Structures are given as C-alpha cells and as structure tokens.
Amino acid sequence: MCGRLAVTLPNDAMAQLFAAQPANDLPEVPNYNVCPTTQVHTIRIEGGTRHLSSMRWGFIPRWYEKPNGGPLLINARAETIAEKPAFKTAARERRCLIPASGFYEWTKDSEGGRDPWFIHAHDKAPLAFAGIWQDWQHGEETLRTCAIMTCGANTSMSTIHHRMPVILAQQDWALWLGEQGKGAALLMQAAPEAHLQFYRVDRAVNSNRASGAHLIDAVDA
C-alpha cells in the first residue's frame, strides 16, 4: 500500500516538469510527512489542458453521506479497480498523477515496534503515482478527492511490504491521463527492480505530526 509521502519539489518546478497549469491553492512544500485526508498535489486533464491542483487524499464514494461515512480509501487496488463500484467509473474517466519525492513503508521488529523505511527513485527524481479522482458533494459541501493506485510489490520491495504504488515512467504520463488514447490498464504494474532504492529512517515519522527534512535521514537498520 502507500500511506505516507514526502513532497519536496517546489510548486513552480512541479508545474514545469508536468507541463501543467498551476492552481493558486497548492499545498505548501517541502512536506516530508504528507498524511491521508490532507491535501496533495495532483495533475489532471481539464479542457484538454493539464492542471496542477490540490485534492484531498482519501477518495470519497458518492454514496457517503459525510467524508468519514465509510472506510478511508487512500489506495485502490489495480487488480480489482474495474470491478469496484467506488472506483470503476473514475478509473475510466478521471485518472490523475500524484507526484512525490518518495514514500514510506513499515516493517515490524521482534517486539512489534514499527520501523519506517523511505523509498525513492534511485536517481532521486520525482515519482509520479497513478491516481484516480472524483468530486464528492453532500448538500453545500464539495470535496475533490483522490486515491493512489497500488499493485503487487516487485521482489526488492516485497522485503518491506507486499504492495506498492503504481509508479509511472514519464513516457507513460500522457497515456494514463488519457491524452494518448486507450491502454492505460497495461500500465498498472510494479516498477522495475532497479528503479527504486530504500533505507531505514527514524521512528519520528510514525507520528503524523512530525515534520522536517530529518525525517528522511537514514539510520542504521
């Protein structure tokens, strides 16, 4: 799965990288501890143009009567997305990219303590996760929400967790966003072994209130 992110690329650089028009309400960066239900950066197509904008991380199905009216849907499984009522329409019609500098996963030690790991591109380039989005509305309240696609982990990542986010290569961004016709389903697979690196970080990041660049500093495993 994917339940915590780090985003360090400046907003103007992010807009340039993704060739997207930036909104005025983008989340502040750097943020080394982006948590579910907070706002995340997303790239989506509107009117034939890429837009960099902010969405709530936590997809809300239309039948929820309130944002916490059911399970928190921060991830969507690639293997079943076409069948799930909550996700299947968004998977066809409302796909997005969710950029990050890296993400965290956890293992447990012999006493049950949670040890965090930071995962990033081997060349430290920004990652682009495959995502889906939709607007949720109830009465006068409207929220634009998203979830990150996940797939089975590749061999190296499976030593930490059996799932991982679907990470898209730059040449595949247009296909996922629907700019290059059909075939996006073929992209929902694990990144190549050599694409990612990971290392242990301090347990300080276990708190969703923690902040600061030290959260991604390596510690002895």
Q: Which residues are catalytic?
A: 2, 105
Angle value at C-alpha 79, between 57 and 71, nearest 5 degrees: 40
Residue 149 region by backbone torsions, left for phi larger than 0, else alpha for psi between -120 and 50, else beta: beta
Instruction: Calculate the CA dihedral of residues 76, 129, 104, 201 and round it to 10 degrees.
Output: 170
What are 199's two structure tokens?
Answer: 């290392």
DSSP structure string for 154-184: -TTGGGT-SEEE-B--GGGHHHHHTTT-S-G
Exposed (0-12), middle (13-18) or buried (19+): which is 47, by Cβ within 10 Å?
Answer: exposed
State the Cα angle at 147 between 20 and 42, rounded to 5°.
15
